[in-house]
Structure formats: C-alpha cells, structure tokens
Amino acid sequence: MITGYKAARNRPLTRRQKLSNKVLAAVRAPVEHGFAPLEIWRVLGKVRTDPKWATTLVRALLVLTNREVSR
C-alpha cells in the first residue's frame, strides 16, 4: 500500500512531497469514487468466498447500483 507524506508541526512538507501527495490523490480518487456506491451493499463486508464468485457479485451489484443511480 502506498501512502502519502504527512507533515509534522516542526517539519513541513517539501515541494517534492506535496507533489507526490497530489499525484497519489489523483490516482486514488477515481478508485474511491468507484467503490463509494458499492459501500451501500453490506454483503460486500461479509464476503469470504472464492474470488471469482466475489468478482461476479461485485459486477452484479455495480450493474444494480448504476441502474438505480440513472433513474
């Protein structure tokens, strides 16, 4: 997992660290926006099964979510 840099009281971020945080945020944002609607489906928190079945489940839930949002 890649995390950004965090400033401390006595140690502000350098220009390079700020740029790195900005690039990381740009990459993470679309992924987080994609998962946000799926958090409504509580069944995803309980999935303890074969990854292939979980992928099928997530795809089905995504279709249902997109259909509900587009109404």
pLDDT of the residue at 23 = 94
Closest listed residue to residue 18, CA positions, set 9, 3, 5: 5
Q: What's the CA angle centered on 44, arms 39 and 46, to 5 degrees? A: 130
Span 48-68, pLDDT tens digits: 777 777 788 888 888 887 776
The counts of H helices and E strands in the chain are 2, 0
Mean pLDDT of 3-16: 94
Give pLDDT tens digits for 22-40: 999 998 888 888 777 777 7
Q: Is the pLDDT of residue 70 over 70?
A: no
Summarize the confidence of residues 6-11 as an average pLDDT.
94
For CA atoms 41, 42, 45, 46, the dihedral sign is: negative
Q: Model-level pTM?
A: 0.53
